[in-house]
Amino acid sequence: MNETAGPKSSALPCGFIVMRHGRREDTDNPLWQVQARFPFDTPLSASGKEIMEAANRLKQAGRTIDVVYTSPFLRCLQTSEQLIRALGCENIPVFVHQGLSEVHSPHLLFKASRPSLSQRARYWLWRASYSSHSRPARQRFTRKARILDGSWPQVPESEYSATLRFRQVILELAAKHPGQQVLLVSHGKSVQVAHEALGCPQRVQQVGFAGFIACRPKSEQPQGQQQQGQGQDQQRPTEAGEQRQERAGEQGGDRTSGGVQWGDFGLDPQVPSFGVEFYT
């Protein structure tokens, strides 16, 4: 038996989607953070237009969702709730996973290179009281979102550490659901990491609000459809793409204990991405 071979297609999820949250309130209202109790836990803006557009793209491709994993941040919970309602699949399990959290760098969390004692205290209070203050948002789902046991990222967290975290967590969560479509709602970095983990030669320049990439097992894609899907984003394999895939493998998080690996997946030929810009 070939010990390096991936699992059979029946052991793989039928697909998974890695999505950035929708438009933040502080994008339209910068003063929101001045008055907020937890200024780093920004809610969504009132519009939600980009989330509806993302849902429409998935509908057009015939994609639905069987299970959701979301970052603990409020904007991700709200994005998850709005998206599955737009898709008409509200009665599905939703889980909150700390491993999908925003990159825990002071610049992203606190808008400062060195957070003050007050900022740190608010952050630790947010974490310590997360179960209670997140309850209203979690109860908005048809089936209340459940918080999974796990570890929060360290503060400060480097870009490299966040990359390793996202690679490992995304693959492990997707692999828990053979034959199902998994939605993972997180932050812009997670979409970039997932795209690179697939070995795609093009580099992500920017992930828009509600931007996503969608993945399907390679074993379930006819060769012609694989090439068609790659043509929109991957084009043909290049030396740069192969080098990035090799670096990704060296970073770790490339295979689960059950043998599922990033190499088992490619971009969904029907809807490879939405709201993602690439370097030309």
Options 81, 102, 157, 196, the catalytic residue: 102
Q: Is 196 noted as a catalytic residue in this protein?
A: no
Q: For residue 261, give Cα distances in angstroms to 15, 40, 94, 101, 194.
A: 13, 33, 24, 22, 12
Q: Are strands 15-20 and 204-217 parallel, antiparallel or unpaired?
A: antiparallel
Long-range contacts of 41-46 (CB under 8 A, 24+ apart): 41/73, 41/74, 41/75, 41/126, 42/73, 42/74, 42/75, 43/74, 43/75, 43/78, 44/74, 44/75, 44/78, 44/79, 44/82
Options 21, 97, 187, 195, the catalytic residue: 21
Residue ranges for the binding site for substrate?
75, 111
Residue ranges for the binding site?
75, 111
CB 277 within 8 A of CB 206: yes
Q: Is 107 noted as a catalytic residue in this protein?
A: no
Residues with catalytic annotation? 21, 102
